[in-house]
Amino acid sequence: MYCGVVTLKCLAIFDLDGTLVNSIYDLADAVNTALAERGYPVHSVDEYRFFVGNGAKKLCERALPEARRSEEETVSLQGRFSEIYRKNCLVKTLPYDGIPELIDRLSDAGIKCAVASNKPDEFSKEIVEALFGKGRFDLVVGKREGVPTKPAPQIVEHILGELGVPKEDSIFIGDSYVDVETAHNAGLPCIGCVWGFRGENELKAAGCDHIAYKPGDIFDILTAN
């Protein structure tokens, strides 16, 4: 058992993109716009499902033609992507069906909810507040300067410390191998969400502890005796 409905010191840490919200269209549009401005080929939305997951810099590096993936060109593309995305990060991005209701059910059961994202911290906070309302999550943490991105465990360890919940009473929830590795690097079990960007096969291959086929499955896993 991870968390019972009477266990108040319990924490569910969620990935953002591909887990709580479907942001792939806005991400793809922003990178494609930046690529097209430079005369580079653009990519399909489905290709971007495998570009995301390790932060904005890695996203831009993967989107560049292989022969142009220098540090200088990657940083330049990332800068332009950030400018575009800053203005358009909420054009098409929406919560997955059933996610807002899940967060409310968890909160009502005394389970704290947090967000750990490789998306820059300001974007993470802006998107979560815009789509879920202020204060719906106990803590939202994105990529910050000087802190390693997932799958390094520091972002999870920071959240555990800030909320005062031991890892034994916590679980990580995400949609990719990056999230599974993040959870295990931090000493947490992981629930994999098949509705996200990568799918069930990747989650199982990465060693995910549980699979959720719909948001309600997460509540059942957390409150199972």
Catalytic residues: 15
Long-range contacts of 45-49 (CB under 8 A, 24+ apart): 48/24, 49/18, 49/24, 49/197, 49/198
Q: Do 40 and 68 touch, CB atoms closer than 8 A?
A: yes
| Residue found under tokens 């309600």 | 216
Q: Do 143 and 123 touch, CB atoms closer than 8 A?
A: no
Residue 91 corresponds to which tokens in the numbers above?
């054009």
Residue 225 corresponds to which tokens in the numbers above?
């005796």
* HSE-CB for 195 with a 13 A CA cutoff: 21
| Bridge partners for 191 per DSSP | 173, 210
The enclosing H or E element of 10 equals: strand 10-14
Residue 175 corresponds to which tokens in the numbers above?
């949609």
d(CA 117, CA 108): 24
d(CA 155, CA 189): 15
d(CA 224, CA 109): 12
